[in-house]
Chain A
């Protein structure tokens, strides 16, 4: 029988295990380190309509005019919850759920693009990612769905039919690939508190917390998707998540300028 015709390389004859890779030098480059990757929340912003969205868009445009390079990703919200609810009753596989989950953030991204068009808003697809340098150098504001493109290939998480990688994961992974140090999440809250501030007036705001500290609290609910907290400690570029309150004027612009507003969750 003919032998395998092998191209010689460092990995040609290995099993691709860590043992084999221990001596492979690897220092990843930051693809576009100056880009700010920012998410507009679905339920927290888009479902609030113009009252919440318009001031945020004004600040995105203001940042762009200051020369800050911004890539906008958009979340899903209540329509995503509605389709997940019906699809889970029908016992749809997680990969089908994730595919259904692509459509609402796409609609929301298109809405944002229409509103930003006169300021250079550009709707882009995952396949357009390699054109970002052009769009940003032209002064555009690229807008895309936050959903990562896993779709039917989304893995199941034990005890849930909801896709574990949704728009928070897409925002974090976009920032990580582009080499941005921080992924910014615009929501309708100032970030994390020691308790629910709506119920406990003594609850204190947490400006900065590590993933380990956050996980140690073992909260049944979290401010971002769980997978993002799993990935953050092993990220190469994006070591911080920033959660800012888009309903408070000035916060979004401050975050885009690199200021520590809201809550920062770090690796």
Chain B
């Protein structure tokens, strides 16, 4: 039984943080350590691009769905899927900015656009055992994994009306790339793979420059020090990763090339591998 403490007009429960200000750096430093408890270290989170895959329609989507079904059948990997919203998100942003909606209002709107892609994906994968996962029903995951269910998670983080004013610019800072990163980070998932329409990162945009050089492997520190002019993942993902503890490796693969996702799930260095120094990647 915890002791109740009073005498200053307030009733406290005895604890290390009792009466303390949680704004005090000296106090909060005592709460930290260099590790988190690991929750699902043998699971993989696969984020499928909205613009890069879904906006291309069935020619891009159906082969990828077949590959995911085969991975599930053959590799027995614990996997969670998620999708981005794509061009409809950009259209929403354009209209919302023109209307002058506050940043929290914009953030509240955009999740619906990726949900459409999640419904499409689930409709195609249901016969292989997929199921949409409610927002933060992570504690159902052991049941999904042991029953052979492939959950489809929500990518956009629940910042909604409470989206903070952005560091720069006018758009919500916490988009679906960040949301997926955070989901994998908090659950300390072993693999985080983004499926896009190019082989990963390049030193310049390969769609514009024929001599763009592919980057097979790069560290987070190198990427932050010298960001490519067009990055296919949101900057906020990298900012959050730089203070995070668990994710040590993020892989970007080309979902238009058959076999790349399968190779990545097997742990092969295809596409671009980004590693955080000092980690296990």
B35 pairs with A91, CB closer than 8 A? yes
In chain A, positions 77-126 with a C-beta closer than 8 Å to chain B are 77-79, 81-82, 84-86, 88, 90-96, 99, 126
Distance to closest chain B CB from A93 (angstroms): 4
Residue numbers in A under 8 Å from B97 (CB-CB): 10-11, 24-26
Q: A95-B182, A151-B136, A162-B28 are in contact. Are A126 and B160 (CB under 8 A)?
A: yes
A3 to B59, CA, bound (A): 9
Nearest neighbor of A6 in chain B, beta-carbon distance = B87
Residue A131 lies at the interface, judged by CB distance under 8 Å to chain B:
no
Known A93-B37, A156-B243, A173-B104: A11·B23 in contact at CB below 8 Å: no
* A206: Cβ under 8 A from any B Cβ: no
Determine how close the nearest CB of chain A comes to the CB of B113; give it in whole angstroms. 10
Q: A28 contacts B100, CB within 8 Å?
A: yes
Select one of B16, B138, B161, B165 contacting A85, CB under 8 A: B16
Which one of B67-75, B116-124, B168-176, B261-269 is at the A interface? B168-176
A151 to B160, CA, bound (A): 12
- The contact of A78 among B18, B104, B158, B188, by CB within 8 Å, is B18
Mark each residue of chain B from 143 to 176: 1 if its CB lies under 8 Å from any CB of chain A, else 0: 0000000000000011111111111111100100
Selecting from B4-12, B126-134, B210-218, the interface stretch reads B4-12
Query: Which residue in chain A gives the minimum CB-CB distance to B169?
Result: A18
Cβ of B100 and Cβ of A26 under 8 Å apart?
Answer: yes
Chain B residues with CB below 8 A from A136, complex form: none
Taking a contact as CB atoms under 8 Å apart, the answer to whether B183 and A153 are in contact is yes
Instruction: Tell which of A78, A84, A235 touches B12, judged by Cβ atoms closer than 8 Å.
Output: A78
**In the bound complex, do residue B182 and residue A11 qualify as a contact, i.e. CB atoms below 8 Å apart?**
no
Q: Which residues of A contact B60 (CB under 8 A)?
A: 1-2
Contact yes or no, B102 A237, CB < 8 A: yes
Cβ-defined partner of A151 (8 Å) among B86, B158, B171, B231: B158
Q: Does A201 belong to the interface (CB within 8 Å)?
A: no
Indicate the size class of the contact surface on chain B: 35 or more
Which residues does chain B contribute within 8 Å of A235, judged by CB atoms? 165
Tell which of B13, B33, B105, B165 touches A79, judged by Cβ atoms closer than 8 Å: B13
> A214 to chain B: closest CB distance in Å?
12
Contact call B15/A149, Cβ cutoff below 8 A: no
**Which of B94, B138, B161, B256 counts the most A-chain CB atoms under 10 A from its CB?**
B161
**Residues 1-32 of chain B: 1 if any A CB is under 8 Å from the residue's CB, otherwise 0?**
01000000111110111111111111011111
Comparing A56-64, A220-228, A257-265, the segment that makes contact with chain B is: A220-228
The chain B residue with its CB closest to the CB of A12 is: B90
Q: In this assembly, does B77 line the interface, its C-beta being within 8 Å of a C-beta of chain A?
A: no
Q: How far is the CA of A147 from the CA of B240 in the complex (A)?
A: 20
CB of B266 to closest CB in A, whole Å = 24
CB–CB A9/B90 < 8 A: yes
Once the chains are docked, how many angstroms separate the CA of A160 from the CA of B13? 21
Interchain CA distance A7-B162 in the complex, whole Å: 28
Q: Once the chains bind, are B100 and A29 in contact (CB under 8 Å)?
A: yes
* Inter-chain contacts of A165 with B (CB < 8 A): 162, 164
Residues of chain A within 8 A of B246, CB atoms compared: 93
Q: Are B15 and A160 in contact (CB under 8 A)?
A: no
A221 to B163, CA, bound (A): 25
Interface positions, chain A 207-259, Cβ under 8 Å from B, are 220-227, 231, 234-237
Does A152 lie at the interface of the complex (its beta carbon under 8 Å from any beta carbon of B)? Answer: yes
Interface of chain B residues 164 through 196 with chain A (CB within 8 A): 164-171, 174, 179, 182-183, 185-186, 188
B94 touches A12 (CB 8 A): yes
Q: Which residues of A contact B100 (CB under 8 A)?
A: 26-29
Contact B56 A4 (CB under 8 A): yes
CB nearest neighbor in A for B33: A91
Tell me which residues from 1 to 59 in chain A have a Cβ below 8 Å from any Cβ of chain B: 1-7, 9-12, 14-18, 21, 24-31, 43-44, 47-49, 51-52
For window 93-119 of B, CB contacts with A under 8 Å fall at 93-95, 97-105
Let me know if A193 is at the binding interface, CB within 8 A: no
Docked Cα-Cα span, A170 to B104, in Å, equals: 12
* B171→A85 contact, CB < 8 A: no
Most chain B beta carbons < 10 A, residue from A91, A96, A237: A91
- The 7 A-B pairs with the shortest beta carbon distances in the complex, nearest first, are A95-B186, A9-B94, A177-B104, A81-B17, A88-B31, A153-B157, A85-B15
Complex A-B: 7 CB contacts under 8 Å = A28-B103, A85-B18, A95-B186, A159-B32, A160-B31, A160-B32, A236-B102
